[in-house]
Structure 1
Amino acid sequence: MLKHLIEGLTSGFGRQRETEPSTETSAGAGMSGAGTGVAEPLPSLGFVSHQPLYDKQLRVVAYAFSVRRGKGPLQSALQQAEFDRLMLGTLKNLDIGKLLAYRKAFVPVSLHALDDALLTELPAKSVIYRLEPPLVGEALDGQLLARLDRLQGHGYRFAVEPARFDAEQGELFRRMDFFIVDFAAPAPQVLEPFLEQLPQRYPKARWIGFNIGSAEELDLCLHGVGSRQFALFHGAILPLLKSLDENERIDTEQLHILEIMRLLRANTDSGQIEAQFKRDSVLLFKLLRFINTPSNGFAKEVQTIEESLLLLGRETLFKWLSMLLFTAKQECARSFGLLEKSLIRARFMEKLGDVRSKVEREQLFVTGMFSVLDALLGKPLDVAIEPLDLPAPVQAALLHHSGAFADRYALALACEAGDAERIDPLVQRLQLSPVPITQHYAEAVLWAQEILQQGTLGDADA
Structure 2
Amino acid sequence: MQNAYHLGRQPILNRQQELVAYELLFRSSSQRNEAIVPNDFLATLDVIQHAFSTLGASSVLGDKLGFINVSADLLMSDVLELLPPQQVVLEILETVDITPAIIERCLALKKKGFKLALDDIIHLGDAQRAILPHLCFAKLEVMGMSSAQMRRLISELRAYPLQILAEKVDSPEQHQLCMKLGFDLFQGYYFAKPTILSGSKPQPSQMALLRLLGLINSNADNSDIETAFKHSPDLTINLLKLVNSVGASSPKKIDSLSAAITVLGRRQLGRWIHLLVYVQQSGKAINNNPLVQTAAIRGKLMELLALKQKPNNQNFADQAFMVGMFSLIDVFFNAPLQDLLEPLNLSDDVKDALMGKSNLLGNLLTQALLTEDNTPDTNTNPPCDFEALLNAMSWANELG
Q: TM-score range by the shorter chain?
A: 0.3 to 0.5
- The TM-score, its normalising length taken from structure 2, stands at 0.42
Quick one: higher RCO (CA 8 Å, sep 6+), 1 or 2?
Answer: 1
- The TM-score, its normalising length taken from structure 1, stands at 0.36
User: Which is richer in strand?
Assistant: 2
